[in-house]
């Protein structure tokens, strides 16, 4: 697991971009996460893939099981959501998958409920990274 990012964690994946995206989607769905947004940075930045940094996708994912009590406790919690995951191509081949650390984000608010939920969410997301690292 990559620890070079203070606000996230991830791993390199030896698969192509499309296969990595499919694997991540399947792993999220298996754990009850719904993908709510998909942002393709090459489309947003309006650049040709050949002149850009490669394909770069941002997923916004949410697990309703954890989100519901958080919204009941603090309606402003939406500023901290959803869980963001990025997948981008590496020049040397393969992809990088990184996930925003939900504990670091929820630690900004003083709510035991939010911190407890974010620790459970982080555990699920770490499982995804560990599975990907074994590919």
Q: How many domains, the chain?
A: 1
2 part of a folded domain: no
- pLDDT bin (cut points 50, 70, 90) of residue 101 is very high
- pLDDT tens digits, 36-57: 999 998 778 776 655 566 899 9
pLDDT score at 51: 59
Give the residue, 51 or 18, on which the prediction is more confident: 18
pLDDT score at 43: 77
If you average pLDDT over every residue of the chain, what do you get?
89
65 part of a folded domain: yes
Q: Residue 88 is part of which domain span?
A: 8-133
- Strand ranges in 18-117 using DSSP code E only, listed in sequence order: 34-40, 56-62, 83-89, 95-100
- pLDDT tens digits, 117-129: 889 999 999 999 9
- pLDDT bin (cut points 50, 70, 90) of residue 111 is confident
In CATH, what number is assigned to the domain containing residue 125?
A: 3.30.310.70
Helix (H) or strand (E) holding 9: strand 8-13
1 part of a folded domain: no
pTM: 0.89
97 part of a folded domain: yes
3 part of a folded domain: no
Count the Cβ atoms, other than its own, within 10 Å of residue 87.
22
pLDDT score at 125: 96
29 part of a folded domain: yes
Cβ neighbours of residue 76 closer than 8 Å, sequence gap 6 or more: none
30 part of a folded domain: yes
pLDDT score at 36: 94
Token match 């959501």: residue?
A: 81
């Amino acid at each position: 697991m990559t620890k070079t990012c203070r606000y996230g964690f991830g791993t390199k994946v030896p698969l192509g971009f499309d296969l990595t995206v499919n694997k991540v989607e399947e792993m999220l769905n298996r754990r009850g996460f719904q993908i709510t947004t998909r942002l393709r940075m090459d489309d947003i930045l309006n650049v040709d893939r050949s002149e850009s940094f490669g394909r770069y996708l941002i997923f916004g994912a949410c697990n309703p099981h954890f989100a519901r009590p958080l919204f009941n406790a603090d309606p402003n919690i939406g500023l901290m959501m959803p869980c963001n995951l990025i997948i981008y191509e590496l020049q040397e081949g393969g992809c990088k998958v990184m996930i925003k650390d939900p504990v670091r984000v929820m630690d900004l608010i003083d709510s035991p409920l939010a911190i407890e939920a974010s620790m459970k969410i982080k555990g699920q997301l770490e499982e995804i990274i560990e599975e990907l690292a074994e590919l």
